Structure 1
């Protein structure tokens, strides 16, 4: 018998229209508090933004079968989505009002497999270097025993927000 999963999301244009109107940290805190809707990718995959501070962002995921690749473990694209989100949002926390960012690259190293038996995982993003035009961040993916599952680095382009 087939399995199914149902999920809902809110209009992504609501949050997108707010980018640059506040600092990046204030924007993400509004998302965590529910004053702004989260991105649809969060609902699609099941990732949750749990905490943000200046230069730091943490996402979590409870892995399920819906995340599996054909060989019976969580697909590398799910790892990459978590790591990209954590690294990018860590950069976003450093942005002043009127600025936005986009990822230029993401380099991922897979160290351990994730399955439903792994339990909740968390991606911790940290800014390594911030400049006027680019920022470098890393993200580390951990299991509940703080074992490193994957590591990523990301370069981000900083630019004036379209709404600012």
Structure 2
């Protein structure tokens, strides 16, 4: 065992409290600029939130060996996590203060193998449809040449955020 990786994170309760008192787009922009600390999952997988606009977000990740499955490529769970994050954050970017969401489902299609040689990948999430109680979002995982690596759809339930 010659390889190690160390990382740290801030108390996630800080984020939960901020999410309840901010509009979704303001919350995500504060994450992107570093005004709020990233959630622990960002440090665990080493991905970043790069772009935020209403109904659209972009996350990026540079694949490393720490993301590999036993057969020498990036684990599908990494794909799914990036796609789930992008789809959910796209929905979150449209929510007013006091409204929360949770994923109801996630359907992922894996289209290409990813390795460290793939280079940086981007997960682009967009809202497809939104009503008062649900939202449908999609996310695409692409490489630097915009080749589609994976695709996902996610249904989200919207609800009043619990008081902080």
TM range (shorter): over 0.9
Structure 1 range deviating more: 18-27 or 105-114:
18-27
Separation in structure 2 between the aligned mates of residue 101 and residue 114 of structure 1, nearest angstrom:
30
Structure 1 range deviating more: 65-74 or 11-20:
11-20
Q: Given the two structures, how large is their TM-score scaled by the length of structure 2?
A: 0.98
Shift of 1:67: 0.2
Q: Which residue of 2 aligns with 1:93?
A: 93
Does structure 2 conserve the Cα–Cα contact (< 8 Å) formed by 1:19 and 1:163?
no
- How much is the aligned-residue C-alpha RMSD, in angstroms? 0.9
| Partner SS for 2:21 | coil
Residue segments in structure 2 that go unaligned for 5+ positions in a row: none
Q: Given the two structures, how large is their TM-score scaled by the length of structure 1?
A: 0.98
Q: Which residue of 2 aligns with 1:29?
A: 29
Residue-by-residue CA offset, 1:106-134 (whole Å, 9 max, x unaligned):
00000000000000000000000001000
Shift of 1:18: 1.1
Q: Which residue of 1 aligns with 2:159?
A: 159
Residue-by-residue CA offset, 1:2-53 (whole Å, 9 max, x unaligned):
2111111111110111113121000000111111111100000011111110
Does structure 2 conserve the Cα–Cα contact (< 8 Å) formed by 1:32 and 1:51?
yes
Residue-by-residue CA offset, 1:42-92 (whole Å, 9 max, x unaligned):
000011111110000100000000000000000000000000000000000
Q: Which residue of 1 aligns with 2:64?
A: 64
Superposed, 1:44-59 pairs within 5 Å as 44-59=44-59
Does structure 2 conserve the Cα–Cα contact (< 8 Å) formed by 1:112 and 1:150?
yes
Does structure 2 conserve the Cα–Cα contact (< 8 Å) formed by 1:15 and 1:37?
yes
Superposed, 1:66-145 pairs within 5 Å as 66-145=66-145
Shift of 1:163: 2.5
